[in-house]
Amino acid sequence: MIIYKGIGVSDGVAIGKVLKINSAYLNYPRIQLDSEDKIPLEIDRIKRAQKSVEEQLDNIMIHSADVLPEEINSVFSSYKMFIRDKNFVPAIEKKIETLQINAEWALIHVIAELEKKFGQIADPYIKARFDDIRQLGERFMNNLLQKPHLDLSQLKESVIIVCRDISPADSFHLSQAKLIGIVSELGGTTSHSSILARAMNIPAVVGVQNATMRILDDQKVILDGNLGEVIAEPDDETIKTKLDKKDRYNFYKNELKKLADHDCLLSDGFKVNLAANLDFISELSLINSLNIPSIGLIRTEFLFLIEESFPDEEQQYELYSKILKEINFKPITIRTWDVGGDKPTYAFPELANEINPALGLRAIRVCLKYQDIFRTQIRAILRASSLGEIKLMLPMITRIDEVIKAKSIIEEERLRMGIKTKNIKIGCMIETPASAIIVEDLLDLIDFVSIGSNDLIQYTLAVDRLNEHVADLFAPFHPAILMMLEKIVLSANRMNKYVSICGELAADPILQMLLLGIGEITFSMSPNHILQTKSILKKVDRATCKKIAFKFMTKHSYEENNQYVQQLREQYMDHF
């Protein structure tokens, strides 16, 4: 019996046989061309591979919009843009000509050179994007080798996937397979593997070093997503122990379902406001079944997957209307276009070559520069507001004038359309240090704020959350983060304005207790976390939350806070 350690990113226990997905780079032909006459043939092969890859991506984009989370889907657009980049296919063709080698070998040369270039980049955000290039290269290699794309839909038995990483395209095919668990060598809590596992409600462990080399096909393994363990060839006693844990976890999940019809209450009866994040349309049925009172964040960028240009007003209106109707006209929050950064689009090809996309032309900056696409979205939202209450949320705000300009555009469109609705509220994301510092000035102009915890931590601590080399520095309980959160909540409460928090942090029970001790706030999270939140928060009362908040706010280092977090997790979290 061998135990491999990694990072548990999706809870649960799975016991089954391994299906290993090897890299396309492991076995490829290396051929030195013996005649210049063969060069055009190899170049033609790479062009045909390019065409095939583009067609495959188009097909996946058409069929995956309602299947996969927006975080995964958004990568497809960047894939397609890079395929046409001068540093990719033209560079492969040049290698074929100058080195007189076959297309597969030339592809490996170019990928290796790109890896070297990306490795020299100091910015961790850009450096981490090489994983997407590597995965795209694997798809090219499979087409050159004429290997069929990953398709596990015909599997007769359930399996645990062991792989180096899961690409967005793989996610589409895997989401329809009989998977009971995922193990990957790469990735963190926000990687494609993690997102897919949580969406499928199966356990996952990522960051298992050399997993594809050490774990064998058809080998029996136990996957413990809670502990971040993969146990190969377990003995009978371990199997019994883990089966008992699996039974307990399944029983726990069934017990949680009983909370669906109940409000989220503290032990003293204080009501906690919960909302759902909507990442893909198929989650609407889950939101309904859990009786979640509102949608606190709708990411509208997934509309890009329908076609390569921005959707028109009618398409958007129909989608927003559909969401309102399917959740019985409960309140929703629509975030306006958050493009740029890691969400490039053909509409603005210049975004692909930004030196630092995370700090470049993105979100509200794009909307104010290209007002036609912003105005189209605003008109669709205004029309949909006739059906129910809509909070219109502006992303990536850093300055007062951005809000003033955006509000002016919204009002111009409202007057032009003659809409007299009271169902529209205007707010913004607080996801940068600048917006957190000027939050009171912002609240003078808007109706609500929502804390974007992922970016707020990333920008405040200068830590790329997707970079495994600095993952331990991504610290939600850093004193600087807690001081910002306290300021935002207290300012909104004092000014009698609605405040919420979305992102991964919104589902952390310890942070929930801390924020409830500070003031009133709504927690908007993946619907999969709603029932567990209800279960854990009913163990504490408001007075306990205030004591927890006081202790956190009087500590001066992340180390002290982290120790206290672990203590509270042992005390309040549900264990199996």
**Could you tell me the two tokens for 69?**
């989370």
Any idea how long the chain is? 576
**Could you tell me the two tokens for 523?**
């927690």
| β strands within 351-420, DSSP E | 390-394
- Quote the CA–CA distance of 274 and 264 in Å, as a whole number: 7
| 502 noted as active-site residue | yes
- Quote the CA–CA distance of 127 and 304 in Å, as a whole number: 25
| 575 noted as active-site residue | no
* DSSP assignments along 203-258, one per residue: -EEE--TTHHHHSPTT-EEEEETTTTEEEES--HHHHHHHHHHHHHHHHHHHHHGG
Which SS3 state, helix, strand or coil, does residue 363 take?
A: coil
Q: How many beta carbons lie within 10 A of that of residue 62, not counting itself? A: 11
Of the residues 264, 502, 529, 545, only one is catalytic, namely 502
Q: Any residues with CB less than 8 A from the CB of 122 and at least 6 apart, and which? A: none
Residue where the block lists tokens 């950064």? 341
What is the sign of the dihedral through the CA atoms of 265, 266, 269 and 275? negative
Enter the DSSP assignment of 387: T
Q: Is 443 exposed, middle or buried (0-12, 13-18, 19+ CB in 10 A)?
A: buried
- Quote the CA–CA distance of 208 and 6 in Å, as a whole number: 5
**Helix, strand, coil percent content, the chain, rounded in steps of 5:** 50, 15, 30
Q: Any residues with CB less than 8 A from the CB of 516 and at least 6 apart, and which? A: 266, 270, 272, 537, 542, 545, 549
Q: Any residues with CB less than 8 A from the CB of 255 and at least 6 apart, and which? A: none
Enter the DSSP assignment of 348: S
Q: Cβ(365)–Cβ(423) under 8 Å?
A: no
Q: Any residues with CB less than 8 A from the CB of 15 and at least 6 apart, and which? A: 220, 221, 222, 223, 234, 239, 242, 243, 246
Of the residues 192, 367, 529, 545, only one is catalytic, namely 192
Q: Cβ(85)–Cβ(353) under 8 Å?
A: no
How far lies 469's CA from each of 8, 207, 215, 465, 472, in Å?
Answer: 17, 12, 24, 10, 8
Q: In whole angstroms, what separates CA 351 from the centre of its chain?
A: 20
Give the catalytic positions in this structure. 192, 502
